[in-house]
Structure 1
């Protein structure tokens, strides 16, 4: 259990890691699994709890585990598989997830991978099937490899993300209420690479019963000025905090109960706060043009300053 206290008796947040014994199989009642596991570990379920669930066990329960060798690859996947050095079925799965917006060779960060491991041989074994990090635009936003995972499944298999993570979260939330009578929020989490720093962090890919973003934009700061901020992605903050107790490898702690978080109940999900593709495309053009113009003006200003000396 992780316990965080804010101020002197002002508020308290507790996070309970909830272990699960055995493998989650297709057809598993995830809501029932959460309730039973929470009861066994002693924390139970209470009104207002936020239940964070690793999206992978939801995927397994929904039958989203596929044999890569059994995936029929189209012509683009066949050609790209030779270019990338990946299996044809693997590339086909990536292409089905959405639009590839960036291809990053992992060789660029191999030194970091070796620095932050206790098993050098495992680095080569982990990178071999995926020598490139593909950033893929999905309905849940930009995701590494489109949210497809090759870990914690038998060799030759892959786990796809839930088809609609928000809908999955709603079903689990409804099931928990049916079994316990408690109103809770549910977050489905996944691990994502960060682009500004080396490493990964857990984020929300689906949610139900909680406003994904805090509605505080323009709140007054301590000097009374409206602040450009106050719109924290609350579901990501909670997912990251829960990851302190949830395991990504063989720990078998795919559930966390977060108790004491103040949130606004909502029917919105993660999909509702994801930038539309049309806006991103339009914004990208403007960003490129303005950035180019900025660099040009800055260069001219630097030249003028040189001649004024």
Structure 2
């Protein structure tokens, strides 16, 4: 058996390769891919060769092929149907943290059934939703808090979607892209430009992946406010105003990363539990506004660079996805 896989072979260069597909072992399943999601932030850093060497072990995808920096097959948002192996999963739709391949063999324990109410393309956002869940577990938002999300990318918007469910929360979302307003408001939050961002916030989630955004997040905190850093800057250094009122206001900067279950839930929830929760939270048609564009798998090597880093003036996609059927 053979499969076709996307490999990144050098900075800004990708190709499709045919490779052997193993026969599933006793605890494995064979999956035919229906769609995969592209995580623009992380996959852009990988595609451009900007993952720092010190972070190669931490940034390795669970089922990655090859090694950093190149060549490697990277990704972690595959939706497919089980063709063989694992009677409990046979014929079922599953989500797996697998790269962009048209078929794959994976441990059955890593293939999480997709709820019937969640369509295929929306299910590719499970990894992003899992990140947002972990962000909230690290943030520990409370009823009635004043909160701000800086950056209305896919993680920022999914965090907004979850935060807006908290009773009494005063929630604003700040972004330079006015086109994100409709999505933010559909989730029940208010949208604002950076210069309109409210201050005296108890909680700020920073998800803009920009130094200016993180500085804004700090400036909008109230006394003993906390900033949860949900972006990742790769090999960039970031200058922050840690003088001024940082100490007098007793501010906190909290790192969050989906590679580990947040301490608030660690020991009570495992990775599979968190991913299953993320999939269940995707049962909301409003989230379809985050999807697109769809890219045929055969066109992915030529399209990937443009969708990861669109030309100046072009629309910035939120959650592009790859189609296989």
Classify the TM-score, shorter chain: under 0.3
Please state which structure has a larger fraction of its residues in strand: 2
Please state which structure has a larger fraction of its residues in helix: 1
TM-score (norm 1): 0.27
TM-score (norm 2): 0.26
